[in-house]
Amino acid sequence: MAEQQFPEPTVGALIFNPEGKIFLMKSHKWAGKFVVPGGHIELGERAEDALRREIKEETGLDISDIEFICIQEFIFDPAFWKKRHFIFIDYACKTNSGEVKLNSEGQEYGWFSLDELAKLPVEPYTMRTVENFLKAYSVSLGTKPSAFSFSNRRFESLARKCHDFH
């Protein structure tokens, strides 16, 4: 593969099941840490279409109720297995799908409550997305899943931008 010449736009999502738990998977590309599923946007593809495609490819899940959470810049961070410059476009969404079928990018997965996330080895960019989701919904760890819904989110939080993790 040729050396990267431009930043690569990518999409990823916090996926909530009907019980309000979040899907995360372990990936060898992220040193075996838990991450959100996602990937690159193809030329001519809308970001939300790329998100649906990537989630389906990596997990077999169908998603709905997609909402923007934040944008993050990832510039040659050693957290990833290759030297890359990504622009992460992160979303939250829901699924009613029950059966997960991981592709080769995921080695293990789970559905986790907000409280459980704090105890897991989660890569920093995924954790930043979780933190921005919590801020956008005025949710804190320990909140019951039924206490928040995507539809009651304040409009101004749609434009919230993640801060660089560095």
pLDDT tens for residues 1-55?
Answer: 567 688 889 999 999 999 989 999 998 887 889 999 999 999 999 999 999 999 9
**Structural domain boundaries in the chain:** 8-159
Q: Provide the pLDDT confidence category of residue 81 given band limits of 50, 70 and 90.
A: low
Beta bridge partners of 35: 25
Using CA atoms, how far apart are residues 101 and 139, in angstroms rounded to an integer?
30
In our burial notation (b when 16+ CB lie closer than 10 A, e otherwise), range 94-115 reads bbebeebebeebbeebeebbbe
Please state, in angstroms and as integers, the Cα–Cα distance from residue 129 to each residue in 43, 45, 62, following that order: 25, 23, 20
pTM attached to this predicted model: 0.82
Burial class (CB in 10 A: 0-12, 13-18, 19+), 23: buried
- pLDDT of residue 113 exceeding 80: yes
Q: Where are the alpha helices (DSSP H) in 44-159?
A: 47-59, 114-117, 124-136
- pLDDT of residue 86 exceeding 60: yes
- pLDDT of residue 61 exceeding 70: yes
What pLDDT, on a 0 to 100 scale, did the predictor assign at position 7? 84
What pLDDT, on a 0 to 100 scale, did the predictor assign at position 145? 46
Beta bridge partners of 71: 89
What pLDDT, on a 0 to 100 scale, did the predictor assign at position 6? 84
More confident of the two residues 105 and 50: 50
Q: Where are the alpha helices (DSSP H) in 4-159?
A: 47-59, 114-117, 124-136
- pLDDT of residue 73 exceeding 80: yes
Domain covering 8-159 assigned CATH 3.40.1000.10 in the classification: no
What pLDDT, on a 0 to 100 scale, did the predictor assign at position 107? 87
Considering only CA atoms, which of 93, 84, 71 is closest in space to residue 149? 93
CB contact at 8 A, 143 and 117: no
pLDDT tens for residues 136-165?
Answer: 877 655 554 444 455 544 323 333 333 333
What pLDDT, on a 0 to 100 scale, did the predictor assign at position 141? 55
Please state, in angstroms and as integers, the Cα–Cα distance from residue 30 to each residue in 117, 132, 144, 160, following that order: 16, 21, 29, 25
Residue listed under structure tokens 């809308």: 46
Q: Is 87 helix (H, G, I), strand (E, B) or coil?
A: strand
What pLDDT, on a 0 to 100 scale, did the predictor assign at position 140? 59
